[in-house]
Amino acid sequence: MPNPDMTGVISTTEAPAAIGAYSQAVKAVSGSTVYLSGQIGLNPADMQMASDIDRQIEQVFHNLQAVASAAGGSLDDIIKLNVYLTDLEHFAKINEAMELHFKAPYPARAAVGVKSLPRDALVEADAVMVLADK
């Protein structure tokens, strides 16, 4: 039975298709909160992983933007970001990317070191977005 608090599943071909039993994003009925699933550095056109950490980080933010856009928002509407890195030595690169893709005030964020990620990705990020009433 579907969850009555969900108004819809968000899906776009501008970000990689789900690689399992999850949705790219789900919008909740109560308010205008959208939960964006984790994005890795896959190019949605060919489903190939970006070649290095810098390109993967850029692709992750591109994919998050695509899903946010499909839900009627943008990166500016993200209030919480979770970042997962297989090597915390790349943490500074995440900060640099956030300064490029977000404006102050920046979203709340957690950055977590993990042993591995799907498809041998080096970075993954998921987000919570709140859409302004329109």
pLDDT tens digits, one per residue of 73-99: 999 999 899 999 999 999 999 999 999
Question: What's the structural domain count of the chain?
Answer: 1
Q: What angle, rounded to 10 degrees, do the helices at 53-70 and 91-101 form?
A: 40
What CATH number is given to the structural domain containing 63? 3.30.1330.40
- The lowest-confidence range among 8-12, 53-57, 79-83 is 8-12
Taking the C-alpha atoms of residue 55 and residue 26, their distance in angstroms, rounded to an integer, is: 27
Residue 23's pLDDT band, with cuts at 50, 70 and 90, is confident
Taking the C-alpha atoms of residue 46 and residue 26, their distance in angstroms, rounded to an integer, is: 24
Q: Is residue 1 part of a domain?
A: no
**Res 6 pLDDT > 80:** no
Taking the C-alpha atoms of residue 12 and residue 66, their distance in angstroms, rounded to an integer, is: 7
Residue 1's pLDDT band, with cuts at 50, 70 and 90, is very low
Per-residue DSSP letter, 74:
-
More reliable by pLDDT, 117 or 23 = 117
Question: What is the domain extent for residue 124?
Answer: 6-130
- Could you tell me where the DSSP H helices lie in the chain? 53-70, 91-101
Predicted structure pTM score: 0.85
Residue 8's pLDDT band, with cuts at 50, 70 and 90, is confident
